[in-house]
Amino acid sequence: MEQLKTIGRELAMGSQGGFGQSKEFLDLIKSIGEARSKAEEERIIIHEMETLKRRLTDPDIPKRKMKEYIIRLVYVEMLGHDASFGYIHAVKMTHDDNLLLKRTGYLAVTLFLNEDHDLIILIVNTIQKDLKSDNYLIVCAALNAVCRLINEETIPAVLPQVVELLGHSKEAVRKKAIMALHRFHQKSPSSISHLLSNFRKRLCDNDPGVMGATLCPLFDLITTDVHSYKDLVVSFVSILKQVAERRLPKSYDYHQMPAPFIQIKLLKILALLGAGDKQASEHMYTVVGDIFKKCDPLSNIGNAVLYQSICCVSSIYPNLKLLEAAADVISRFLKSDSHNLKYMGIDALGRLIKLSPDIAEQHQLAVIDCMEDPDDTLKRKTFELLYTMTKSTNVEVIVDRMIEYMISITDHHYKTYIASRCVKLAEEFAPNNHWFIQTINKVFEHAGDLVNIKVAHDLMRLIAEGFREDGDTVDSELRSSAVESYLRIIGNPKLPSAFLQVICWVLGEYGTADGKYSASYIAGKLCDVAEAYSNDESVKAYAVTALMKVYAFEKMSGRTVDILPECQSLIEELSASNSTDLQQRAYELQATIGLDAEAVGNIMPADASCEDIEIDKDLPFLNSYVQRSLENGAQPYIPESQRNRMDDISAIKSLDQRETVSHGLRFEAYELPKPPVPTSIPPISPAISAELVPVPEPYHPRETHQSTSEPSVSDDGASQVKLRLDGVQKKWGRPTYSSSPGSSVSTSTPTQKAVNGVSQVDNTSTVSSKPTSYASRTPEPEISLEKQKLAASLFGGSSKPEKRAPSAAHKTPKTHHGANKVHAAKTTVVPPEVPPPDLLDLGEATVTSSAPSIDPFMQLEGLLDESQVLSTENSKAVGPNKEPDFMDLFYGTTLSGQGSNFVDLLSSNKDDLDFTSEMSKVAAKTGQGETIVSNSAQFSKGPNVKASLEKDAVVRQMGVNPTSQNPNLFKDLLG
């Protein structure tokens, strides 16, 4: 009867708007949601805080009301206000025996407090008591608080209870205990270093949730120490295989994908364990290939699993079949209309290019489309891909595109990044020095002071050194072209300081070298630069030094030096400058002009910028002078490092003395003030002071922005592993279907039916026909000539789109020699001495579709008897284990068009079987290139289509109607 009353009371409360919540609380939530502005929301919360402060001071608050007040405090805290006045009440609520109140208290405490809060010490005893509770819900609430609130100092207080809960009967408790241990390892790895074996044991837990929670700490442990967990490769592969085969309960499916988050975590772990390890990678090939076949590409979570599979394939030891499957998935990503999938495709393509640089050729047009896409994020990712695939043949096109993009953006940080990448590529892959100079000029002109000053020095050194091995004529042409380009650029407004320094230096060194420009013309340009950038001392210094070089070279050549009036006024201005550097350069210029030709030639020889200057830092010619000075009582020289150390020691001593004096008590009286002493110096009148004190010009220091160059990305091994995938068509799974669309073969694979836009699996149906591919139904879009040329420049190959089967990776090889190239390329990736496992070989004893007789988890746990395992294996080994000959499946199949690519795939798996020598080739030339269709002579049936068409044309010229009643005539004519 009491229970019925309680239920009725709760139902009555629910009819009023909630179970146990007052109308005041519901009005608070409603008013917060209807607030029109931040100020109105703050007014509501401040009023609520005042109400709660007043009510929480009442000592006799009912528990139900206190629970509501704590929840209202959570709202106050979530909206950014301080609710610390109620923290202690939430801590007290964790001590309550009522389950609902205790869980509410734990929830509030985990939201209010952090691990370093002073109130943490008050709940440690409560957590210890709750971890030993018989109610697993209380234990779960305490474990949640452990993960959030226990710090490094309090870990030993709860660690024994958490380890004991790893064997709890409830899977939720075991999972939360694993998560708590993972949190302890993140905070203090040394505290649980002796408990790491528990993660291995929980990997064999019967509950998939506990196993999935164990993958997270194992991933962190494997990241730091890969070699200690190599023995778990087989275990992880077995788990992934069972997940992919849908052996987990349906509750773990997400959008009809079996436990996708567990699959992603397992693929990340396998990528770490298989990196550079061929033996470990061979265990993964089959299961990763199954994931490529079974993943649904129509859902986001399926694409996420496929992307992680590509990352795994690019990390482990390379396998040709997996690379082909990854290339097919990347092709689908790049052809998608979704920018997210395109971004994933570009990123995945960048990973595979490191293993096979030629794989980008089949996606060249898609990459160009991404480079021209208005989405800025996708465009930046595409430029990163182009940066990794740059070589000497395509560096000009890629750098030009990067400079165009650099001009269009306004983000200074990314502009600096792009400028550094352009400079790196130009320095590494420049086809010639002339192109390098022009490229660096563009970067300087458009990136400004964001370019590193070291780039300017490298450019000046390159112009000075020239080609060297090509002779003086080529060097002079290079310098002349540099002078001409700089004379055109020098009139542009707002050139960067570093670039102006390069321009002044080049004009001073080589402006009059070829005799094309006079000294007066070059000097006038330099004076204009010094006048236009009068606030930049470094530019003016370079301009004055360049003037000195120009006039010095005129002196040496015996010509008369006529100083322009603007140059003379510049020299006079700099002679009175506040900068000692500019003064010295101006005086040196005046002194140099007054010398004779021989003296000028000795102090400033022509084209001597590349000569090495020997410097003797010991200065031995001053030894006698130093000795005499020491004998006369001079102080010996003290190095700068020792001077700094002595200054530090003296400063420390003086500080200690001041501290000693300041800490002591002083009893003497204060010193009396002294009367002012009248001075006998007469005051200076304002007029005289104004004449004697000059007012200097305002000096504004120049701000120099330097950008740090990014480290260059080097792809080691990219040239060693070179894949040629032409002519290989990959068909994952059992090849028990016909290659022709019209053939009907019954298979045991389930059929997917589309119901309301969602694909469902029907295990009872059979596949009657192969659906027509989208590529065969959709006409190929016309590609512009400009895009074709760009693709040819970027990728060094034809820009013609490939017409191939949906699962085919490359075009069919044209000749038998091309097939040999494919075979040779494959042997470079997979050495012949240890052949990789054949993913199409489904006759192995270890790969079965039925449930295994031995539970792999029990094997991991070591619970089975070894004799039982051996007996089971021996029973499987009995009987002929004949490998199925998959070539027999295709002998009776008519190969035409795209289906002929099966021959190349199957011939690559046979050692002594080569079908390409028996293939006949029919070349059909088109306007854009040449398409080769290879048909096997033994599979082709019927008349020759080309010959029939020619005969038909001859008959029409003779005036014979093909619809006449003479079938024998047309039978003879048409074959």
Say which CATH number the domain at 548 has.
1.25.10
Which tops the pLDDT comparison, 798 or 72? 72
Long-range pairs, 883-887, Cβ under 8 A, ≥24: 883/841, 883/843, 884/841, 884/842, 884/843, 886/735, 886/840, 887/913
Using pLDDT thresholds of 50, 70 and 90, give the confidence band for residue 794: low
Residues β-bridged to residue 933: 922
In this structure, are 562 and 626 located in the same domain?
no
Is a pLDDT exceeding 90 seen at residue 104? yes
pLDDT above 90 as % of the chain: 32
Using pLDDT thresholds of 50, 70 and 90, give the confidence band for residue 170: very high
Average pLDDT for 457-468: 79
Using pLDDT thresholds of 50, 70 and 90, give the confidence band for residue 446: confident
Which tops the pLDDT comparison, 885 or 38? 38
pLDDT at 109: 94
Q: pTM of the entire structure?
A: 0.58
Domain holding 555, by residue range, is: 452-603
pLDDT at 564: 85
Which tops the pLDDT comparison, 58 or 606? 58
Q: Locate tokens 């044991």: which residue?
A: 201
Using pLDDT thresholds of 50, 70 and 90, give the confidence band for residue 863: very low
**Phi, psi torsion values for 92, nearest 5 degrees:** -65, -35
Is a pLDDT exceeding 90 seen at residue 269? yes
- Ranking 452-461, 465-474, 647-656, 831-840 by mean pLDDT, the lowest is 831-840
DSSP per-residue string spanning 228-241: GGGGGHHHHHHHHH
**SS3 of 52, please?**
helix
Of the three residues 572, 603, 634, the one that is the final residue of a domain is 603
pLDDT at 765: 38
pLDDT above 70 as % of the chain: 63
Using pLDDT thresholds of 50, 70 and 90, give the confidence band for residue 60: confident
pLDDT at 607: 67
In this structure, are 532 and 671 located in the same domain?
no
Report if residue 373 sits inside a domain. Answer: no
In this structure, are 579 and 717 located in the same domain?
no
Using pLDDT thresholds of 50, 70 and 90, give the confidence band for residue 961: low
The pLDDT tens digits of the residues spanning 752-788 come to 444 444 444 444 333 333 343 433 444 555 666 766 7
Contacts of 574 (CB under 8 A, 6+ apart): 540, 544, 582, 583, 585, 586
Report if residue 150 sits inside a domain. Answer: no
In this structure, are 836 and 690 located in the same domain?
yes
Strands 751-755 and 257-258: unpaired
Provide the b/e sequence for 745-776 (b: ≥16 CB within 10 Å): eeeeeeeeeeeeeeeeeeeeeebeeeeeeebe
Strands 253-254 and 257-258: antiparallel
If 0-12 CB within 10 Å is exposed, 13-18 middle and 19+ buried, where does residue 340 land? middle
Binning the chain into helix, strand and coil, the percentages to the nearest 5 are 60, 5, 35
Is a pLDDT exceeding 70 seen at residue 816? no
Average pLDDT for 493-516: 87
Q: How far apart are the first and last CA of the chain?
A: 98
Is a pLDDT exceeding 60 seen at residue 722? no
The pLDDT tens digits of the residues spanning 177-220 come to 999 999 999 999 999 998 999 999 999 899 999 999 999 999 99
DSSP per-residue string spanning 533-575: TTT-HHHHHHHHHHHHHHHHHHHHTT------HHHHHHHHHHH
Average pLDDT for 224-251: 93
Using pLDDT thresholds of 50, 70 and 90, give the confidence band for residue 457: confident
In terms of residues, how long is the chain? 975
Which tops the pLDDT comparison, 726 or 615? 615
Q: Give the integer Cα–Cα distance in Å for 15 and 29.
A: 17
In this structure, are 587 and 627 located in the same domain?
no
pLDDT at 372: 83
Q: Check if the beta carbon of residue 178 is closer than 8 Å to that of residue 213.
A: yes
Helix axes 136-149, 171-187, angle to 10 degrees: 10
Q: Check if the beta carbon of residue 283 is closer than 8 Å to that of residue 276.
A: no
Number of domains the chain is built from: 2
Contacts of 843 (CB under 8 A, 6+ apart): 881, 882, 883, 884
Is a pLDDT exceeding 70 seen at residue 856? no
Using pLDDT thresholds of 50, 70 and 90, give the confidence band for residue 370: confident
Q: Check if the beta carbon of residue 355 is closer than 8 Å to that of residue 720.
A: no
Report if residue 11 sits inside a domain. Answer: no
pLDDT at 470: 60
pLDDT at 618: 81
Is a pLDDT exceeding 90 seen at residue 271? yes
Is a pLDDT exceeding 80 seen at residue 226? yes
Query: How wide is the angle at C-alpha 270 spanned by C-alphas 267 and 271, nearest 5°?
Result: 85
In this structure, are 690 and 633 located in the same domain?
yes
The pLDDT tens digits of the residues spanning 677-718 come to 554 444 444 433 333 434 444 444 444 444 334 444 344 444
In this structure, are 631 and 576 located in the same domain?
no
In this structure, are 821 and 906 located in the same domain?
yes
- Ranking 52-56, 166-170, 807-811 by mean pLDDT, the lowest is 807-811
Using pLDDT thresholds of 50, 70 and 90, give the confidence band for residue 84: very high
Question: What integer best gives the mean pLDDT of the chain?
Answer: 73
In this structure, are 752 and 709 located in the same domain?
yes
Average pLDDT for 854-883: 46
Of the three residues 575, 603, 631, the one that is the final residue of a domain is 603
pLDDT at 648: 61
Report if residue 66 sits inside a domain. Answer: no
CB atoms within 10 A of CB 585: 22
> Running DSSP on this structure, what letter comes out for residue 733?
S
Report if residue 948 sits inside a domain. Answer: yes
In this structure, are 694 and 593 located in the same domain?
no
**Among candidate residues 475, 439, 473, the one with its CA nearest the CA of residue 459:** 439
Quick one: which H or E segment has residue 258?
strand 257-258
In this structure, are 737 and 824 located in the same domain?
yes
Report if residue 868 sits inside a domain. Answer: yes
pLDDT at 141: 95
Report if residue 661 sits inside a domain. Answer: yes
In this structure, are 634 and 664 located in the same domain?
yes
Q: Locate tokens 């061979």: which residue?
A: 282
- Ranking 322-326, 408-412, 966-970 by mean pLDDT, the lowest is 966-970
Report if residue 25 sits inside a domain. Answer: no
Of the three residues 603, 638, 667, the one that is the final residue of a domain is 603
Average pLDDT for 663-675: 63
pLDDT at 808: 37
